[in-house]
Amino acid sequence: MIHNIDIKKTAIETLELEAGAIRKLTQFIDHDFITVVNQILDLSGRIIVTGIGKSAIIAQKIVATLNSTGTPAIFMHAADAIHGDLGIIQEHDLIIALSKSGNTPEIKVLVPFLKQTGNTLVAMVGNMDSFLAQHANFILNTSVEREACPNNLAPTTSTTAQLAMGDALAVCLQTCRQFSDRDFAKYHPGGTLGKQLYLKVSDLSDNNGKPEVSPSANIRQVLITITKYRLGATAVIDTNGIVGIITDGDIRRMLEKHEDVTHLVANDIMTQSPKTIRRAELAADALHMMRRHNISQLLVTQEGHYAGIIHIQDLLKEGII
């Protein structure tokens, strides 16, 4: 049985070996890499990414990253390409072929067909003397000294290098295109990430109603209003607009402080100068403000006028938190 100390040592050695391989990639960011980025930026077609075995899996991830950051890309399996999938390639596409050795039988069969199409062929390869490297227009060098596998066989360090090089390519393209978080949201409308980038305060607050009382409202009116809207608070509004907020916490503090509350009105217990957020702001910004001020509600405004309340429970329901 392997001792825990050996497991820990092996894990650390694996991570250090792969981290070292990624650091070494910085030496391979050369003229070819820069040219490939510029060609893709000027591309009127798409990027076709292909590979075999574990490289095919990495190729699929690179395609996903490119698509999500504004660069149209399609995955083509190298084995399927010679059985009909070559039809995917169009006239103005650029092809990136991934292979550690650059000499696999599937790659050797595929490359001549790729060259016949006249498309630019980019090799992401770990062997500069390989068949793929010799026939490519440009090379993205992902050479590694050895695999993390004890037998130096299972693709580990080499696939990590491919993945990192793909990320470097995608991020360069994203940066050159000034691809913003708003652009990113267009490609990620679902899930928490998308909601953080596009869901507005109004999308939530408009469903809550507008609890409000006047500064002279008695405690019974205040309690009825808070209970009716179930937001744990009500705005206090006079002719000039928002003057305060009364929350469940204010009610509890009032009861602790006063034995007789019949003479009290909203103005006596409200919190003045309450935190507000504009209706057009992102819901994620509302969350940041609530966390910063350790509060559960924000009064919502539109052009300076009271427009409702957003509650932290609204954000929880939408998965923003």
Q: Which residues are annotated as a binding site?
A: 77
With a CB cutoff of 8 Å and minimum separation 6, the contacts of 317 are none
DSSP for 155-175?
Answer: SSHHHHHHHHHHHHHHHHHHH
Q: Are 45 and 150 in contact (CB under 8 A)?
A: no
Angle at 60 between CA 79 and CA 66, to 5 degrees: 135
Pairing of strands 233-238, 47-51: unpaired
Give the CA count within 13 Å in the CB-facing half-sphere of 144.
28
Can you tell me the distance from the alpha carbon of 29 to that of 184, in angstroms, rounded to the nearest whole number? 26
Question: Known binding site for Zn(2+): residues?
Answer: 77
User: What crossing angle do the helices spanning 54-68 and 157-176 adopt, rounded to 10°?
Assistant: 20
Q: Are 210 and 309 in contact (CB under 8 A)?
A: yes
